[in-house]
Chain A
């Protein structure tokens, strides 16, 4: 399957981040067209396109928009989730660095469609470069009359605010993000009510991922039929894949949904040193890992689910045979333990227990019985917390055990660093002497 640069098509133009650069490539044409259409028609169009959320869950975007009650007299809000913090996910930040106006054009169109006069872009505080690039785009769009009152003479008013986070993975969870944006500790809310009904300031709110919103101008400009040429019936469209890890050319590769990891690997120059894939994760540390047996599974929402995993953020991490899976999984659990917000007991306490046990395995001190007990412990966390962080923390170990049981059993006697020389997995192995 060929690569199909759409969102990334003009990234090699160093002026693309400017308004003039973006407009040279057709930018803001979709906005002019959208403002001449009925908002409900736009929601219908996005529904018909079949676009699904690119933040991980894959929820149909148009359907989400349609849940916002219309003509209810309440203010509506659009919130863009630009808190990309999922380990392995690195596609929204590049989009914001390279093509920030696509995001802003999408924000304005979406605000118009859901009848929101305020939009917020919640960008993680750890990436000031993304914050300044998007803020610059907002300034230019405001100066050009695309943001503000009576946008392009349409009578539509919209304001866009860039909001900096301050270092909390949990704020990528949509309801925690809302609490954070309201000036509270970022802790998830119980759903229902869903944000479409009671979101920011308890008003109807749509929360969409950066890449999702960036699809909107292209769908409006080129149409549903064009969009549905890409991908499958259930997973239409294209995807900004970010391939990282032990590959020769890690980077951004945009392709239709349904491309396989084998094809992406080929574009990325294959596994380094002609090696082999030991395990890979299609979209972040929160989705179950796959192995070299799964390289031909189409990367769609439905095919990944059938293979026992999820497309997630669509940012495959590739690990070659130099890597200890025990060490990899332990490190992810240390992350979830650190990032658990503490609200729900199963997640708060469970991440400590799993991490503590896995750290013993990493040092060669696990026991045979704990290999099974950990599965049970993960089962007690899964599905028992407000948000998906607990579920995510309960995911890596059972998935790894399914394919690499022997390695965990070996870790009852042999530390991970003795099973696998850590230096061998460095990408600069042999290249740097210190």
Chain B
């Protein structure tokens, strides 16, 4: 698909964030994925133009990072962590169940092109193992059955809420967020859940606090509430 003038202008906006425009290459490639559903040769060429490098150089960058796909991802990217902790705690079986449900293997789109399945690496959510992602939003603490149910709901077009984020949109929308992070969804869902509060909860139950806050804090003239 030809890259529109509006897209090129957005690329310039990204470049303007940085002291040197080439730094914007990665967000630009995310922008391309948000529009094209993959990093197309046309899209890579437009990025290369925007930052003043050859298409070969931009392709070398695009091919280095696993999130950039050179085939259409489809509506939803489905990830299952099968690194050691998630995998051994049950992620392996979750992946098998989803592979069977979707009829595809690792890093592959489904036959109808709607879903993409991927065994992903550690998602920094080990406390919530086994972890699945839909369009990179967290779906924590899944089982094979709950994971298949999530895909069934997406397949039927029913709303699915990320366990620590917004209602699932689609792959392209997430890629847009990666290029332009202010998506207005920061207050959606419950990003802070019981597992993130586990220690604080125990501390409160047992009356534990951080010791010895300096005495002057009580009479500090700058009251927190008045500042903002």
- Residues of A whose CB lies within 8 Å of any CB of B are 2-6, 8-9, 11-12, 14, 16-20, 23-29, 32, 75, 84-90, 92-94, 97-98, 118, 124-129, 131-136, 139, 144, 161-169, 180-186, 201, 222-223, 226, 229-230, 238, 241-246, 249-255, 267-268, 285, 315, 317, 319, 323-324, 327-328, 331-332, 335, 338-339, 341, 422-423, 425-429, 431-432, 434
Contacts and interface: CB of A to CB of B under 8 A. Distances in A.
A3 B178 contact: no
B84 A167 contact: no
Contact of B127 (A125, A131, A242, A426): A242
Contacts of A332: 83-84
Given A252-B198, A427-B129, A87 B178 contact: no
Nearest to A185: B64
Nearest to B61: A185
A12 B228 CA distance: 21
A24 B199 CA distance: 22
Contact of B124 (A2, A127, A246, A323): A127
B66 interface: yes
Interface centre among A92, A126, A162, A331 (most CB of B within 10 A): A126
B103 interface: no
Interface in B61-102: 61, 64-68, 79, 82-85, 87-90, 92-93, 97
Given A165-B26, A315-B126, A331 B195 contact: no
Contact of A17 (B67, B191, B194): B191
B210 A6 contact: yes
A285 B122 CA distance: 11
Interface of B: 17-20, 22-27, 29-30, 51, 53, 60-61, 64-68, 79, 82-85, 87-90, 92-93, 97, 120-130, 133, 135-138, 143-145, 162, 164-165, 174, 177-179, 181-183, 185-187, 190-192, 194-203, 206, 208-214, 217, 220, 222, 224-225, 227-228
Given A125-B136, A222-B214, A425 B89 contact: yes
A243 B127 contact: yes
22 contacts: A23-B225, A23-B227, A32-B222, A85-B122, A125-B30, A125-B67, A126-B136, A128-B177, A132-B181, A133-B186, A135-B186, A139-B182, A164-B178, A183-B22, A230-B210, A242-B127, A244-B126, A252-B195, A252-B198, A319-B88, A422-B88, A434-B145
Given A98-B192, A168-B64, A183-B24, A222 B213 contact: yes
Contacts of A427: 89-90, 129-130
A1 to B, nearest CB: 10
A168 B66 contact: yes
Contact of A126 (B53, B123, B185): B123
Contacts of A327: 88
A11 B192 contact: yes
A167 B228 contact: no
Contact of B202 (A139, A162, A167, A253): A253
Contacts of A201: 19-20
Contact of A128 (B65, B174, B225): B174
A133 B123 CA distance: 17
Nearest to A19: B228
Given A182-B23, A338-B121, A244 B137 contact: no
B178 A131 contact: yes
Contact of A3 (B121, B162, B179, B199): B199
Contact of B25 (A169, A183, A338, A423): A183
B182 to A, nearest CB: 5
Contacts of A328: 84, 88
A98 B203 contact: no
Interface centre among A32, A183, A323 (most CB of B within 10 A): A183
Contacts of B92: 422
Given A133-B186, A425-B89, A426-B90, A166 B126 contact: no
B223 to A, nearest CB: 9
Given A133-B191, A182-B23, A427-B89, A335 B122 contact: yes
A135 B182 CA distance: 6
